Structure formats: C-alpha cells, structure tokens
Chain A
C-alpha cells in the first residue's frame, strides 16, 4: 500500500488524477477501521492532513462553507447557531476522540446510509464542492447519494467543502441507537423549518439504501402549514397534521432487517421521531416568532 502525502490541494488533485483508486484519508475514523478489519486494501491512501484549509470554515451572509475535514467537535462548538441540525448530529457521532478527528467530508466520501451527518445535510439542503484537475463542480446534496455506499463523485474528484445555507428557522435531529452514546444509528431523522421560503425539509438515515428525504411528508406539511396560515398565526399544529406527517415520514423508509434492528421497528421509530421533532421545531418557531414558550433545549 502506497501512502501519498500531498502538501497542497493542487498536489492532492494531481495525485487523485494519477491514481483514481486512491482512497482519501483525513481523520481516518472510517478508513482505518476498514483497513484494520481487512475489509478493504486500497493500493493507495491519499493523506489529506497536510492541507490545512480543509479543516477551516467560513460563515458568509447566507451560507456556511464547511471544509471537508472540520472535526465534529468544532461544528458542535462553533456552528450551533448557523447549522443547529448538523451540530446536534455531530453530538451523536461516536466518542469524543472520534469527534475530534472525523468530519463531514468523510461521511460524504463513505456515503454510508448510517452516516450521522447525512440527515441534517438533506434537511438543510446545500451542495458538495467537488474538485478535480478538470475543475470544480457543485453537487446538490439531493443528488449526492446514488446507491449503497456510493456517491456522485467522479473517480478523480475530491471533496473540498460543503456549502450549507445558514438556518433560517428551527432544526432538529434525532437518532435511535440501543445505547446512550457511541452507537451507530439504527435509524435517524432530521427536520428543518425554513420560514423564509415557507418550506420544510427532512432527512432520514439508516432506513433506506441511501440517506433519503421524506418528500411526501415535506410536501404535505408545507401545504398544511400554508393552507392553515400557521406560519403567520404561529398557532399550535393540530395533532392530525403531526400524525399524518409522521406516517408519511415512516412511509418514505425502505429499511432492512439487520443485527441493529428490524425493518418494521425502523419504520415505526422514524415516524415517532418525525412527530417529536416536528413538535420541538414548531414550538421553537412559535416561541421565536410569536413570543410563546420555546421548545426544549438540548444539553
């Protein structure tokens, strides 16, 4: 196995062009597990740790440009206001040691349906900045996940950053695991309210071959909020709306039975999380917009 250590982003792109099978490694929290278990044996490892700006982020007027290697710990500490959904998800990634090393770029590169970052990325929307010696392209998050552990990157492309819209409304993330920390998601759900566009977006993890949005649930809720004038009135949502939203979210799942959970449970749990996160985000929206009691905060 050859270990390539480019000193700059340009060198990294050149190396990836020369060795398209090279596996990029930054925090190593995913790649090293695979290598240690002998699950994969790449001919080349492409070490990105010398490229400092991958671990940096910029907060713009409307968006955050998040470097591919910004560790989850940094996201939790610094981007709670701009990216609340992703910050909540970052909290649930493995252990403190792993959160100090791992970043969103790795989650995207592996594209496992269980990656904790995917549901909030889908719920916020945004784009992946992919680059090769041929140039830069912005891949919408919605188009990024193309199959089980497969993404839309070309063989010579590397992920440089993710561009995410700053939150314009409450966001939530919920993840089921069978212990209270350090656990791979049995299933996960993210919800973002977008009051500016009067829309809602969702993301579901570990309950389909790829991370998916619950589009029918989004459309239903967007319509229900508009038709009922809820954005303006800030009235509590009728339980029937929450129920219907939960049912549609569960219906967006296409899960399997595996050692971590049954398909039936996953569908059920996604419905429960959809209903609860809707309750929390809506209460929070009402609190912010209309001065009523805010929703529960997370530690």
Chain B
C-alpha cells in the first residue's frame, strides 16, 4: 500500500500521528496547545484537498440544473471522447444491487436514477487526467430533463394531489406519518395543556421563521481513493465518522468492509456538514473503474450543493403564564424542511420535539414536530441539531410573556428555570446539575459595555465601533442600543435508544528508557481539539509525559460521530476507560516483578504519576520504565454511555437523552435604525461544562459556537427560490458569514458543575452556545427597535420596513 503525501509545493502535516510531549502536569484541566494550531495558522497544515498521488486522476460530478425532473436520457458519448477522459459513470454503471445510501434511511441514490429531486443532485461522474479536462467533459454530458412540479413547503407538500418526493416508502417512519411527504413526526404530550391553559392569566402565541443556515466549513469536500492490489480501496477522506461512511460505502462498491480501508485526512471544519457522504463513493467508484487513484475536490460553488444544510423551520408557539410569572402550558408545532432526502432529519425531529419547551419547567405540553420531504436542498445535521430552531422560538416567547406580565425578561426566565430534578416534557428526570437560573444571573451581572464607544477615541466617530463599520454609513445618526438575553438546552450524545459507543486502543511501552503511551482511535478531528484532549487524558491516567496519537482510521473500532457534542464525552471516555484497564495490567506486571520488594504493591491503592508507580499516600514504589522493561500492554476497548430509550410515537414519553448542556447569552447591539444595519458590540456567555478538560479549547468552542449563532441572527441564509426550488446564493460572495469585524467582544464565564454519570463529570460543550446566541441577538435588536422580528436572519429590509 502506498501512502499519499501532500505535494511538494504544499508541505504540511496532519495533526494526527504527532507525538505530543509536555510536562506531566499537562493532564486534564491544563490548556495544552493544539498540535495542529500553528500549522493551521501558518498555512502549512495539509487538508484533504492537498493530497496528491502519483498517477492520480481527477474526478468531477455533473449535477442537476433543475430541482425536480424526470431524466429522459443521458448521452455520455461526447464526454467520453474528450482527450484525457478515463471514465464516465451514471446510475447504470453502478456495480452492485446496492445503489442507495443514507445515514438512517437509504433513500439517496449514489447517482440520480430516473429523476432528480433537488437542485444540484449528482447525475454523472467523470475521471480525467486533469481537473479542467474532467470539468470540460462533464459539461459535454447531455442530460435531457422533463421538468416536474416542485413541492417546497408544508402547503405544497401535503396538498391534494401533491407530487410525492419518494413514491414508494418502506422506511421505519412510513407507516406512522400522516402523509408520504412527511418524513417523520414526533408528538410530545404530557399533562393536560387545555386544562392548564384555562388557568393562564396571559396567553401568548406567535409564528416564527428560521432560515436555512449553512455549515460554511472552509475546507471543501475532498478525498483521494486509491485502488489496492487485493481489489479493495484505500480512501483518504475528511469526514465526521469513518465507520458510518464505511458502512454506507462498502455495499455500493460490492466490497466487504475490511477491504475498504479508510484514513482520516486533514479536515477543514465540519459542524454537521460532513456527517453525510459527499464524494466518498464517487471517488471509489471511479478508482475501481479506472484502476487509478482518483482525487475529488469540490470548489466553493459545488460545496454548497455537496452537503446538507440546517433545516429551515416554521414554528408556531403558544405559552400561557399566571400573573405571578409561572408558565402554565405550552402548545407548539415545529415544521422542519428536510428537503429531498432523509439525511439526519428523523433525529432532528426527535430533538426539536423533546427540547421544544427549552430549559423551563412546563408540566402541561402539547408538542408536535415534523420534517417534510420537499424538492428543496436536503437538510440534516448542523451544530445544535433541531434544538437551535426551537430555542429561537421559545426565547422570543419568553420575552413577549415577560413584557405582557410587566416582568424583567431575566427574572421571568429564572422563575421558570429548570433545575436538577425537573421532569422534562418527555417524562425524563434531569438528574444532573441544571444551573439555568445561575447562568442567567451571571450574564446579567456583568457590567455593560460603555455607551457610545465610537466616541471613545475623541476627535471624530470611530466607524469601526458603529454599524456598517468602515463602510462609513453612520457617525452615530440613527443608532440605538439594545440588550437581549437567551438561554438554551441541548442534549449531548446520540439519543432515542441508539447504541452509541466509542473505541480506544491504548498501548504502553518503554521507548528510549521512558514509559510512553500510544492512543489510537477512529475519532474524526474536525477542529474540536480531541487530539489534544486524548493526550491529556493519557497523561493523567498513565503518568507518562509522551503520548503519540495515531492517525484515525478504520483499523481500530468505531469512535462514533464527531457530532452531538459527544466526542470528549465518548471518545475521551473511551480513552480514559482503556487507560484505566491498561493501568491495571501495568500494575499487575509490577506486582509480578516487584511485589515481593514492598508490601504496598499488594495492599495499597496504586497510581501512575510522573513516570512512577506511587501509593495513594505518595510513596514511590518504582519506575514505570522498570516495570515495563521488556513488556508492553496493548488494549482496545469499547465504551458506552448509559442506555437511552426511543420516544413513544404518540406521546413522546421516554428517557431519550443522555445528558444536557446549558448556555446563556447576553447580547448588546447597536442598531442603525434608519439603515437597518446591526453591530453586535458584545456577546457575553455563561456555560456549564461540567469539567473543562482543556479550558482554552472550551473557550474556543464557546466563542465559535456563539459566533455561528450570531451569523444566523444577522446574515447567514441560503436563499432558495420558492418557484423553482433552486439555490440563489451558492457562494461566499452572497452567503455571508461573520468576519472578525463582525465578531464582538465575548466574555466567557465557565461553570464546572460535575455530571456524576460522565467521565470526569464533563459535559459536551460544542453546541449549546450556538442555541442561545441567535435569540439573544434577536432580543437585543427587538429591544433597540421595538419591532417584533419573528424571522431570523434579520435583514435590513425587516428593520426598515422596506
């Protein structure tokens, strides 16, 4: 097997496989630096798009230009005749009976079959000597389409005689949904919402609209498939979950899983967008067909069609409250647009439904969440995963309820805040700390940034501190400040009865007279910092300094997905778990070798610290290097979180979640009320993380998640034409994400209230800050403008009535 290397003009190393030294003190709780940090900051890091292999071909995808159409014919002859073209593949060329894939429901054709269901669906593949030749040849494939009517929202999807996006459904949700264009529906019913409503002194209802957000990771989909002599394939790929990819790829190729060997290559961000397959199967098929290595790299335009997006949603909410500020009930209906294929939609529905009430005590609820099949772009996993959309709506409701009751919005939330022991609408008790009121108290207690900061420098207005920035739209005219609060709840780990586990292999041996550890997992490092944390855990548990993190690949058991805020809990937990077993073996060796020298070997609680075996009283029994001389310990073990249950399909009852994560935000904005431009000047956040294994990484996650939520509040939206269902802004010119000048000061207050069920008491941190950031910014803009603003992102048109 030959290994692909980054080309000479782009030298670089991936973070895995690096040996991380460090003080023995660099265990958990230390802010050790990322091994890939400097490489990324200096442009030396090799991403999956930088790989090169001798003799390799370039693959290219031809995608549909229409959202819904019958494929009348495909003529590839002219494309095949182009110089340098080595293969052209369509659905008819797929080698086995398995021609579909999918995370949960295998409804996605590897290449379009008979019809296309969304704009940008892959129709054909080309492999050629040069990427340009491949692209030119793809343009010469003649596809004749017969346009079909599109369904784009709930009304058109469930109308009398609506075209079915999937005609013949056999998935596990097909039998319980009210219409074949409804992918999954989950009610959550508890108590008696009607009776409780009768007790309410105020009832507030509203409709909210959440736009389609993109993960906008910076490294486009890319990978390299290398055919092997044994008929298998080696795939080097940027993904979030190697083994989930493997399970979907192998049957399409007609290969046993052990002949599809996958190695993680440099991942340039993910945020959920790499949970589904993109070019994996395509590159392997072209490699199989041509017998040559095939690389595929999407450009930015194609990337917008190459991955699922965050579900846009329409949400109807009704809350009641008594005059003393206690919630009486919640009725809500959340309609998520899943687009043309299932992706992770069923699980997103489960999250939206079970977390629809937010971090509040509401005993009487009538909740319904559903996802549609439409001809819009497929939607699936993105940071926050169903909880984000709900949080936008319930937090808007909280502000309106507080206003109706003439209560301070934070005070109102605190009166209804859940705490340890609260029963969720699903009937599941919250059995770990839930410091919702305290998080709100902390962000509220922070001093506010000074008023009119643009005048701070004297002389004239510093436009950088004003809405519009250097675009110089105001020197203070029309600018009004607003302050808003929000808090959210996110589940951690895979829910609803999924067998969620991770695997870690840990080897301990003596190298150069020093005891060292090697950690091997299949965890996808997508930027979250797992490679740093794994080394910290190994140092803590094994008392070594030097830890080598092996490249993530499929030679070791599944680590599960880098999503659902789960990797530090799950693969961190797996590393801890295996290290503990390795430590026991090491101590066994020590007892065998040296047990007779000191009675404490037999009687005391023993630890590994600073390269030594010590008693819990601190007495040194021996050097680890001596214990392990001539020996090694090597174990691979699986680790599971506590089991969960499926939600009842009628009532939504069930202990569906593993753990919850909470964050609260206070946003301070300056709004140019005449031009409708917004500057977020401060976004303060407080979050309970249970235990910060790497405080620097934790703060990075919280600030990154908050910024992604800010983007959703004021600029990020994929615009889909409602008539044609075609994407209108597939570029970074017109899909805007925050720049550093849009990113405010972000004071972060980290709480560490241990969850006793979790490794080291930690909580997943990655998603919670994305939830409450958006509604906090919206609340601040409402505070500044007095407008209702039921839709996010907010556009200048909404603020100016134009």
Residues of A within 8 A of B (CB): 36-38, 88, 91-92, 172-184, 186, 259-262, 264-265, 267-269, 272-273, 276, 279-280, 294-299
Contacts and interface: CB of A to CB of B under 8 A. Distances in A.
A177 B471 contact: yes
Given A265-B797, A268-B802, A296 B473 contact: no
Nearest to B733: A184
Contact of B734 (A38, A259, A268): A259
A92 B470 contact: yes
Contacts of B459: 297
Contacts of A297: 459-461
Contacts of B135: 38
Interface in B424-463: 459-463
Contacts of B147: none
B69 to A, nearest CB: 22
B498 to A, nearest CB: 38
Given A269-B796, A297-B461, A298-B460, A183 B674 contact: no
Contacts of B470: 91-92, 180-181, 298-299
B471 A276 contact: no
Nearest to B728: A259
B475 A272 contact: no
Interface stretch (B15-23, B700-708, B738-746): B738-746
Interface stretch (B104-112, B595-603, B675-683): B675-683
Nearest to B719: A259
B796 A176 contact: yes
Given A179-B715, A183-B736, A259-B734, A172 B472 contact: yes
Interface string B714-729: 1100010000000011
Given A259-B729, A296-B476, 11 more contacts: A176-B677, A179-B741, A180-B467, A180-B679, A181-B742, A184-B734, A262-B797, A276-B477, A296-B460, A297-B460, A299-B470
15 contacts: A172-B472, A175-B473, A178-B677, A180-B741, A181-B739, A184-B733, A269-B675, A272-B478, A273-B675, A276-B473, A296-B461, A296-B475, A296-B476, A297-B461, A298-B470
B299 interface: yes
Contacts of A269: 675-676, 796, 800
Nearest to B737: A179
Contacts of A172: 472
B464 interface: yes
Interface of B: 135, 299, 301, 459-464, 467-478, 674-677, 679, 714-715, 719, 728-729, 731, 733-734, 736, 738-742, 795-797, 800, 802
B797 to A, nearest CB: 5
A295 B742 CA distance: 26
A276 B475 CA distance: 9
B802 A264 contact: yes
A86 B132 CA distance: 39
B672 to A, nearest CB: 9
A267 B462 CA distance: 26
3 nearest interchain CB pairs?
A297-B460, A180-B469, A296-B460
A173 B739 contact: no
Given A265-B797, A268-B802, A176 B736 contact: no
Contacts of B719: 259
A41 to B, nearest CB: 10
Nearest to A92: B471
Contacts of A175: 468, 471-473
Given A175-B472, A176-B675, A297-B460, A265 B742 contact: no
A178 B736 contact: yes
Contacts of B461: 296-298
A278 to B, nearest CB: 12
A268 B802 CA distance: 8
A262 B796 CA distance: 9
A172 B679 CA distance: 21
Nearest to B301: A37
A177 B715 CA distance: 10
A267 B800 CA distance: 12
B797 A180 contact: no
Contacts of B739: 179-182
A187 to B, nearest CB: 10
B299 A181 contact: no
B591 to A, nearest CB: 63
A178 B715 contact: yes
A299 B459 CA distance: 10
A261 B679 contact: no
Contacts of B474: 276
Q: Which of A182, A186, A280, A296 has the most CB of B within 10 A?
A: A296
A272 to B, nearest CB: 5
B469 A174 contact: no
Contacts of A182: 739
Contacts of A180: 467-471, 679, 739, 741-742
A266 to B, nearest CB: 8
